[in-house]
Amino acid sequence: MIEVVDLGKKYGEVWALRPTRLRVEDGEFFSLLGPSGCGKTTLLRMLAGLETPTRGEIRHRGVRIDPVASHHRPFNLVFQRYALFPHLDVRGNVAFGLESQRIEAREVARRVEEALQLVQLQGFEARAIHTLSGGQQQRVALARALVNRPAVLLLDEPLSALDLRLRRQMQLELRALQKRLGLIFLFVTHDQEEAMALSDRIAVMDHGEIIQTGKPEDVYRRPRSLRVAEFLGELNRVDGQVVGVDSHSGWLRVRTASGWELRACARQGREPGSYAPGERVAVVVRPECLRPVSGSADAGNVLEAAVEERTFLGATSQLRLRFAGAGAPWLVDLRQGEASDRWEFEPGHAVALELEEPRG
């Protein structure tokens, strides 16, 4: 278990990471997710001991380790650009950490072999680094860190340099590896899909602070703020006023400015009962939670709009809709099974939309 208490880093007068609290349990795959420049790397580098915190503590199994020099910490970092030693071959790179600890040569050889097996790079021992492909280099970097049997593996966007296919494949491998080894993986990414696919929990960061922590589903479905919601995927937003609370389901009833009535889920961290009737709220709807229906808008969560544009995206199509009267256009995802190519969805036609019942 690692625990970060009040940890902050200032460069000059600017907080790269505002004093932050974070706790990661043993065996967790934990992702730090956030836009570029939000302080992910800074946090990771402080954990690795490569950057001195401006304030705060880092604890590992209850023991403070922030005063411990990098090379004595049981944490290993997989660098954003791998940082493989160009003058050493694959074996030399992987063995580097063990040799630093003066481990006996036979043991080193055995563990290097084991680590290379783990990342499926047997037979690459003598290859020079510059002869490896991006994906292979990434595995060497992984093996180089794992061979030391760290308590925590820190990964700084290790997949960002890979193409989509390889990336998917490496994601699966990483996840499997983590399950097998049972280590803490602290994984930095700015790809929300990647974070959600891999992690037990994620922390969403913005402007140097963690703005929400939780299971991927929770964070996705019940964001604590609009910023989190926006960062995790496309969304449609409509402003309205609380009308009341559905007593047995706990859903809020919200009426929008144009007179629609929607049922929505309370924000993470707030009791439905704490919303006073008349309170102004923003309701966000994910594009995949909307379904086109036949019939008119008489039931509660049905909206009517005109198709403005249809975009083919492969497995899905996306409609851009505009409501009479309402401001910003909305996005709706259609699965191919929903006959996304039907003429009703050509630009100019009117459609009725049903909101999926809120969950969670």
Partner 1 sequence: MAETDDRVPALRRLPAQLAWPAGFWLLAVLAVPLGWVVVTSFMARGTYGGVVAAWNLGNYARVVDGLYLKVLGHSLWLSTLTTMSCLVLGYPLAYWLATAGARLKPWLVMAVVLPFWTNFVIRAYAIKVSLGLAPAAWELQNSPLAVWIGMVSTYLPFLVLPCWVALERLDWSLLEAARDLGASGRRVLLQVLLPLTRRGWVAGMIFVATPALGEFVIPDVLGGARTLLIGNLVADQFLMTRDWPFGSALSVLLLAAATLGFWLERRLESSRSAQGSGGAKPRTPLRARLLAVPALLLLLGPLGVLVGQSFVGPGGLTWDWYRAALGNEAVLESLLRSLRVGLGSALLASVLGTAAALALVRSRFLGRPALEATAGISLLMPDIVLGLSLLAWFSSLGVRLGEATIVAGHATLSLPYVILGVRARFQEFDWSLEEAAADLGASRRRIFGKVVLPLLMPAVLAGALMAFTLSFDDFLVAFFTAGPGVDTFPMKIYSMVRFGVSREINALSSLLLVSTLVLALGLNRGLKLTRNLR
Ligand X SMILES: Nc1ncnc2c1ncn2[C@@H]1O[C@H](COP(=O)(O)OP(=O)(O)OP(=O)(O)O)[C@@H](O)[C@H]1O
For residue 79, count other CB atoms closer than 10 A to its CB: 20
Asked if 44 contacts 121 with a C-beta cutoff of 8 angstroms, the reply is: no
| Residue of 26, 37, 64, 70 that binds partner 1 (CB under 8 A) | 70
Q: Which two three-digit tokens encode residue 310?
A: 């249809």
Specify the residue, 208 or 216, whose C-beta has the smaller distance to ligand X.
208
Among 41, 76, 199, 213, binds ligand X (CB under 6 A): 41
With beta carbons less than 8 A apart as the criterion, state whether 129 and 84 touch. yes
193: Cβ contacts below 8 Å, ≥ 6 apart: none
Q: Are 98 and 148 in contact (CB under 8 A)?
A: yes
Q: Which x/- pattern, by CB under 8 A, does the window 93-122 give for partner 1? A: ---xx--xx---------------------
Compute the least distance from the CB of residue 202 to partner 1, in Å: 24
Beta bridge partners of 84: none
Q: Binding pattern to ligand X, positions 4-23, x when CB under 6 A?
A: -------x----x-------
Name the one range near ligand X by CB under 6 A: 31-39, 144-152, 308-316, 342-350: 31-39
Between 45 and 222, name the residue whose CB sits nearer to Mg ion: 45
Site string for ligand X, 42-81 (x = CB under 6 A): x---------------------------------------
List the 209-214 sheet strands across, edge first.
75-78, 152-156, 184-189, 29-33, 201-206, 209-214
Q: Cβ neighbours of residue 8 under 8 Å, at least 6 residues apart?
A: 15, 17, 18, 19, 20, 53, 54, 55, 56
Show contacts with ligand X in window 188-217 (CB under 6 A): 190
DSSP 8-class letter at 275? P
| Contacts to partner 1 from residues 133-152, by CB under 8 A | 144-145, 148
287 binds, among Mg ion, partner 1, ligand X, none (CB under 5 to 8 A by kind): none
Contact pick of 24, 29, 32, 41 for Mg ion (by CB under 5 A): 41
Q: Which long-range contacts (CB under 8 A, 24 or more apart) does 118-126 make?
A: 118/143, 118/146, 118/177, 119/143, 119/146, 119/173, 119/177, 121/90, 124/90, 125/89, 125/90, 125/91, 126/89, 126/90, 126/91
Distance CA 6, CA 36 (A): 22
Nearer Cβ to partner 1 (126/315)? 126
**Among residues 210 and 355, whose Cβ is nearest to ligand X?**
210
Burial class for 248, CB neighbours closer than 10 Å (0-12, 13-18, 19+): exposed
Measure the CA–CA gap between 175 and 179, rounded to whole angstroms. 6
Least separation in angstroms between residue 307's CB and ligand X is 36
Residue 89 has what DSSP assignment?
A: B
User: Whole-number minimum distance, CB 52 to partner 1, in Å?
Assistant: 8
Contacting residue, 29, 79, 220, 345, with partner 1 by CB under 8 A: 79
Interface with ligand X (CB under 6 A), residue total 11
Which of 20, 24, 40, 220 binds ligand X (CB under 6 A)? It is 40
DSSP state of 128: B
Binder among 22, 24, 38, 58 for ligand X (CB under 6 A):
38
Query: By CB under 8 A, which span of 65-73, 184-192, 220-228, 256-264 interacts with partner 1?
Result: 65-73
Which residue, among 324, 318, 330, 307, has the nearest Cα to 260 in the 3D structure? Answer: 324
Binding residues (CB under 8 A) for partner 1: these are 48-50, 52, 69-72, 75-77, 79, 81, 83-87, 96-97, 100-101, 144-145, 148
Binding residues (CB under 5 A) for Mg ion: these are 41
Binding residues (CB under 6 A) for ligand X: these are 11, 16, 34, 36-42, 190
